Structure 1
């Protein structure tokens, strides 16, 4: 990885009103361009630059290297706002949190990565983990890695390697220059189209040892954000996308859908008992899920700031609140779709964006239904039964 390859990246606006205005501007642009992003099936680099101006890609860079680490709740509320406009772009923006993984790299490597500035966009295609050839000074990597969300706008890419004795059997992530790999355009999906989660292919690419790390490995830089559980945070930033999608769908039901009438006539939908009850129950479910989600986040973050032990129970609650948020948010999206009636089945209907994208996060391995069971197992003092959980 060379600093020259990422030297032209955008930088965050000064903290305060100017940065807040940059974020509002990015949301306005997103409202105008979200159909474009969905049609082309990726969020382009010029829009990633707007999110960098808003500070989202220095939010997990260590302060030691010029970053301005954000408390997880503050960052995720930004992701939630983006997702309320376009969930797929929210998904891509959530990876502004992923530089916490880089804390496991040698300090000298981190210094090199951030030499051109702290605003770094990272995307990873980590699975399936490939066997790499161990050679002097590094690894020779070949293979195809799937689901590299945001890869077309990333400054650095990660690929997953099967670990060996040098990593105590734990899988490794190898960091590579986007110019050194091929992006395979295979993202043909019904939901989260704009995430551009294409595959990455490498052919006998040499990666130095110092550019590899164990995902969620021990941080080499001691700052509060690096004490916060990295794998739980990875699940949370995806779950909060669903909360944003649910907010967007429910806002549509309240602000627009309620005034519409059925093609068969009759009172406006908002005056019907079933609509009133549906909106009320959906609002209660969404706000309840958010409360549990952010309350747990703030509690664990306070421990990270104070340098206190973060227990297995704390981590289990983070994972539980994330899974619950993803599934509760999905139910709210479906409730809004149900209230909208037949008109919502058209591809051009505004709720289709939230429906197609909002169903996806709960399908992710980190948020799937079996993580409820794993969380409950840990709360009962039992084995989670899932690798790398919590």
Structure 2
């Protein structure tokens, strides 16, 4: 297997804080261009974000899920879009299902690999002697502008039990179509990917959530649940930013009409307190089950169906509660919020996005409830 060289500079709390400071200065730049610049992706690589799910056997520094989630949350409190992109530092858990020889080649230049995927709609791929002839267009490839490797969804077959495959391609094999025109999470660069009849070897395809070929603890943690968690925690960071803004502004000057400042109004104090309690409660449940499940994995026990259900439920709950928290802050914040330049406008738009994701939508509550009552999950890909 290929030997990897650790080129990452020594990092620590100061480096992370410096990155957040730079992010605060550049988030408008990223929003205006609709993607996070490649040099900032490199900045995140230097902090280990994109080796946090690279196998240790290939030079990675795999983090316990809760530790990685906390990093994504802190980034998202400064800019949700950048937090969304950073969250895909966890996506290499999917690639652990590739043959070991393929992974060795993937990490031959180092463990800091940024992966982005446009997995839907699944596009037909003609089988070849070596693999698959990939052709088509895929949507929602968040972070594709700074990616080192890209994935697109193709059908499965008898060998995958019908589950779709993801085919991996290098950036020079893919055309990025910049059609991302949205209000929320604008800087995620969730553009379309277009591939024109490129043959992808079979060993460069995998089943998302498929059995890993790497025997390390992180790859025994439920992969699809982790994918839901990293997106959900972005909304928690956005909600935290909204609350912090509201607390700071509320203690400030009186309104333009001469009315008492917001902090002197009972409805404002009550609203902030309710939102604070709701967010902290949802976070506590979210991190509790993340810690509990990883401890089970570390002890050698596979994650149970109930643990997976709690991971999925707590993630969907956090996304829903976070959006409600931002909405409540907006509701009590007065007329100034109607201006496009108001910080809460940006945060409100970003907060709505995670709960719309298929991994976090209303169906997840039904599926989790079914499993908790010893019934089969009601949605595919729940575990």
Same fold, TM-score > 0.5, yes or no: yes
Q: Is the 8 A contact 1:41 1:194 kept in 2?
A: yes
1:283 aligned residue: 276
Residue segments in structure 1 that go unaligned for 5+ positions in a row: none
Over 3 Å counting, the alpha-carbon distance change for 1:25 and 1:75 in structure 2 is same
1:9-24 aligned at under 5 Å gives the runs 11-14=7-10, 18-24=11-17
Shift of residue 340, structure 1, vs aligned partner: 1.5
Question: Structure 1 residue aligned with 2:159, among 147, 156, 166?
Answer: 166
Structure-2 separation of matches of 1:318 and 1:218: 19
The TM-score, its normalising length taken from structure 1, stands at: 0.95
Shift of residue 346, structure 1, vs aligned partner: 1.1
For 2:193, what is the secondary structure of its paired residue? Answer: strand
Q: How many residues align?
A: 381
Shift of residue 61, structure 1, vs aligned partner: 0.3
- 1:314-366 CA distance string (max 9 Å, x none): 10000000000000111111111112111011111111221110111001111
Structure-2 separation of matches of 1:171 and 1:130: 10
For 2:12, what is the secondary structure of its paired residue? Answer: helix
2:379 aligned residue: 386
Shift of residue 281, structure 1, vs aligned partner: 0.5
1:93 aligned residue: 86
Does residue 175 of structure 2 align to residue 185 of structure 1?
A: no
Runs of 4+ in 1 over 4 A off after TM superposition: none
For 2:198, what is the secondary structure of its paired residue? Answer: strand
Q: Is the 8 A contact 2:220 2:302 kept in 1?
A: no
Structure-1 separation of matches of 2:244 and 2:284: 18
- 1:137-174 CA distance string (max 9 Å, x none): 11000000000000001110000011112322110001
Question: Structure 2 residue aligned with 1:25, among 18, 33, 50?
Answer: 18
Does residue 369 of structure 2 align to residue 369 of structure 1?
A: no
For 2:153, what is the secondary structure of its paired residue? Answer: strand
Structure-2 separation of matches of 1:166 and 1:321: 33
Structure-2 separation of matches of 1:257 and 1:186: 38
How well do the aligned residues superpose, as a CA RMSD in angstroms? 1.5
Over 3 Å counting, the alpha-carbon distance change for 1:46 and 1:326 in structure 2 is same
1:107 aligned residue: 100
Over 3 Å counting, the alpha-carbon distance change for 1:187 and 1:116 in structure 2 is same
1:274-353 aligned at under 5 Å gives the runs 274-353=267-346
Q: Is the 8 A contact 2:6 2:59 kept in 1?
A: no
Structure-1 separation of matches of 2:377 and 2:160: 22
Structure-1 separation of matches of 2:6 and 2:235: 28
Structure-1 separation of matches of 2:8 and 2:332: 41
Does residue 261 of structure 2 align to residue 264 of structure 1?
A: no
Shift of residue 11, structure 1, vs aligned partner: 4.8
The TM-score, its normalising length taken from structure 2, stands at: 0.97
1:18-57 aligned at under 5 Å gives the runs 18-57=11-50
Shift of residue 44, structure 1, vs aligned partner: 1.0
Shift of residue 249, structure 1, vs aligned partner: 0.4
For 1:195, what is the secondary structure of its paired residue? Answer: coil
